[in-house]
Amino acid sequence: GWNTSSGTTTDTTIFDVPMVIGSETTPWGGSLTINDIIISGTDGVGLTVYSDGSVTIEDSEFTQNDEAGVYIDADEDVNVKRSKVNDNGSNDWNVVDGKGLEIKSGGYVALADVEANDNQIFGADIEAVKGVAIKNSFFNGNLMYTNDFAEYFGYGLTVKIVENPDGVFDPRADIA
């Protein structure tokens, strides 16, 4: 983890509070790589990122967060590797929460060795402009529930390719 006193780092940093980088109106001003963190047990979204560039998450875990594990809105590519987004949701059936990994990308999205299991609503929901590649990833046990207001059908994975402003679709997302 990160030792704030000495400025040194070791293997993994653990947080029990939400981490927010950028905002919808003021996104992070470039590309961003996040690795070796664990965010667990928050009362909101574990990790929220808004970026003008690309976003990479590696070797990280986002578990048991009430609203969602990870939300990413990036103008360029999004890569998630060797990471877990499991068991998110408050277990309050009157509240619509418990998303796993939610990505909106202006470029490619690549998932490799990702787990998005046992979330209250969905495992992964991906919206990309240029293409999506998924390798060795699992989206199991995501739930469905009803309350007094509505019925929610959980799902493992949804991928949506949105209109590319350049008019070109290239399905060759990098999953290395």
Q: Over range 74-88, report the average pLDDT.
A: 97
Rounded CA-CA distance 16/64 in Å is: 10
Length of the chain: 176
Three-state DSSP string of 18-54: CEEECCCCCCECCCEEEECEEEECCCCEEEEEEECCC
For residue 122, the cross-strand partners are: 99, 155
Higher pLDDT, 41 or 144: 41
Q: Which amino acid is at 41?
A: G
Higher pLDDT, 127 or 169: 127
* pLDDT value, residue 174: 54
Owner of token pair 């998110």: 88
Higher pLDDT, 141 or 46: 46
- pLDDT band at 175, cuts 50/70/90? low
**22 in helix, strand or coil?**
coil
* pLDDT value, residue 116: 97
Determine contact, residues 73/52, Cβ cutoff 8 Å: no
- pLDDT band at 42, cuts 50/70/90? very high
For the CA atoms of 114, 23, 153, 138, the dihedral, rounded to the nearest 10 degrees, stands at: 0
* pLDDT value, residue 142: 87
